[in-house]
Amino acid sequence: MSDTRIADIKGRRVWDSRGRPTVEVDVTLKSGAFGRAIAPAGASMGSGEAVDLRDGGAKLGGYDVGRAVNAVNSEVAVALGGMDAADQASIDQAMIALDGTANKGRLGGNAIVATSMAVLHAAAAASGIPLWQHLAQGRKVRIPLPEIQIFGGGAHAARRVDIQDFMVMCPGAASFAQALEWTAEVYLAAGSIMKQAGKLQGVADEGGYWPAFRSNEEALDTLVASILKAGFKGGDVAISLDVAASEFGKAGTYTLALDDRKLDTTAMIDMLGRWCEAYPIVSIEDPVAEDDAEGFVAFTRAYGDRCQVIGDDFLVTNAARVRKAAADGAATAVLIKPNQAGTVTETRAALDAGKAAGFGTIVSARSGETEDVTIVYLAVGWDAGQLKVGSFSRSERMAKWNECLRIEEALGRDAVFAGRGALGFRR
């Protein structure tokens, strides 16, 4: 057995897909095994997320991460030095205790999550097998059904449209590789439709086309036209939305800036319901705001049997919140983002709570990303069933899709694609 005790931890500042600073951590074990991970960053964030610690002030728009990097190189390195990297739970518990706050605001959720994931990588390296396999521990896993953005919006596109992510899912695909190929056809078709309409204006934060639309419905109509132009029928390629309603809704009032309308919770749910009737929608994330638990229950009761209802800002990768949502019937699926929870262990607990409740589980990237592909290994190794990474352009996104392709190829005939069955519906 190699010596899996931690010999060295080094944090540094690197840069994300928005050109903002973020935290990278290197972990070296006594055996020489090495792990590295980078913290991602959200733009539309739930208030219950682990704190993304930034320096503030004028420099770099206040986004610098000097304090978080410093925490890694001082307190965290000292506390974890000599600990066993193979014991992820104790590592994460030590950082939670060291931080001492409820929201990881002292050391920074970014410092803690990058360290936690780097330790995980190092432990896998020590075991000599790929991280996804290290996590699977011999259990059967599936290659996730991808959820891929075609048009950006909301906080990722200067609020050009209200809805944040207009995505496709390919429940009819037979493999991950085929799902990517189909999505590539739709992305291409969407680009040519936008060009013809004189609306091609580059891409939003996650690589989806800039949403130069007059209404949210125009985005949906254009998405349907793109699916049809690419030659697909309803069912094989379907629509998924992240409404990210906390960004424009509070205390039961939703302000749709583009449509110049204010809606209460009932009207908001009715509007989404009409969309579910009119368009081939199989999944809706954060249909109402994080403070609107009753709205989540009402929406799930009305549409959860035919449309997966995902809690993101609402559940913030928190096991207790997932359990409560399951008991209340407030969602049918949970988005799993390591940096919302702040450690690998807490992320896993939220995913397990989702599975125990019969929820769909979707491991997700953030809008601020890097070349780090850890989430792909988590999605496969933990058998999440679904993976959300953003769009089908820009290499911080493509690196993740491509890595998942490689895993499917490595599994060969043993590869099982999660497909349609991964979607969580109300039972």
Stretch of 37-45, 80-88, 226-234, 392-400 contacting ligand 2PG, by CB under 6 A: 37-45
DSSP character at residue 381: H
If the CB atoms of residues 226 and 367 are measured against ligand 2PG, the closer one turns out to be: 367
Check: CB of residue 353 under 8 Å from CB of residue 24. Answer: no
Establish if 242 lies at the interface with ligand 2PG (CB under 6 A): yes
Instruction: Give strand pairing partners of 75.
Output: none
Establish if 244 lies at the interface with ligand 2PG (CB under 6 A): yes
Establish if 109 lies at the interface with ligand 2PG (CB under 6 A): no
Dihedral over alpha carbons 388, 310, 236, 147 (to 10 degrees): -10
HSE, side-chain direction, 13 A CA sphere, residue 32: 1
Establish if 289 lies at the interface with ligand 2PG (CB under 6 A): no
CB of 389 to ligand 2PG, least distance (A): 9
Stretch of 12-20, 260-268, 301-309, 363-371 contacting ligand 2PG, by CB under 6 A: 363-371
CB of 30 to ligand 2PG, least distance (A): 36
Element (H, E) at 145: strand 145-152
CB of 2 to ligand 2PG, least distance (A): 36
Q: Is 337 a catalytic residue?
A: yes
Distance between CA atoms of 97 and 83, rounded to whole angstroms? 15
Out of 24, 290, 312, 396, the only residue in the binding site for Mg ion (CB under 5 A) is 312
Establish if 43 lies at the interface with ligand 2PG (CB under 6 A): yes
If the CB atoms of residues 22 and 364 are measured against ligand 2PG, the closer one turns out to be: 364
Q: What is the DSSP string of 188-242?
A: HHHHHHHHHTT----B-TTSSBP---SSHHHHHHHHHHHHHHTTPPTTTSEEEEE
What end-to-end distance do the CA atoms of the chain give, in Å? 46
Instruction: Give strand pairing partners of 249.
Output: 254
277 burial class (0-12, 13-18, 19+ CB within 10 angstroms)? exposed
Establish if 165 lies at the interface with ligand 2PG (CB under 6 A): yes
Site string for ligand 2PG, 325-344 (x = CB under 6 A): ----------x---------
Task: Report how many residues bind Mg ion under the rule CB under 5 A.
Answer: 4
Check: CB of residue 183 under 8 Å from CB of residue 148. Answer: yes
User: And the tokens for 201?
Assistant: 């204006």
Stretch of 112-120, 195-203, 254-262, 359-367 contacting ligand 2PG, by CB under 6 A: 359-367
Q: What is the DSSP string of 244-313?
A: -GGGTEETTEEEETTTTEEEEHHHHHHHHHHHHHHS-EEEEE-SS-TT-HHHHHHHHHHHTTTSEEEEST
Site string for ligand 2PG, 194-213 (x = CB under 6 A): ------------x-------
CB of 52 to ligand 2PG, least distance (A): 10
Instruction: Give strand pairing partners of 417.
Output: 143
Distance between CA atoms of 288 and 217, rounded to whole angstroms? 17
**Binds 165, which of Mg ion, ligand 2PG, none (CB < 5 to 8 A, cut-off by type)?**
ligand 2PG
Site string for ligand 2PG, 309-328 (x = CB under 6 A): ---x----------------
Q: What is the DSSP string of 71-135?
A: HIIIIIHHHHTT-BTT-HHHHHHHHHHHH-SSSSTTT-HHHHHHHHHHHHHHHHHHHTS-HHHHH
Q: Is 49 a catalytic residue?
A: no
Out of 28, 343, 367, 370, the only residue in the binding site for ligand 2PG (CB under 6 A) is 367
Establish if 42 lies at the interface with ligand 2PG (CB under 6 A): yes
The catalytically annotated residue of 206, 217, 290, 346 is 206
Footprint on this chain of Mg ion (rule: CB under 5 A): 242, 244, 285, 312
Q: Which residues bind ligand 2PG (CB under 6 A)?
A: 42-45, 155, 164-165, 206, 242, 244, 312, 335, 364, 366-367
Active site residues: 206, 337
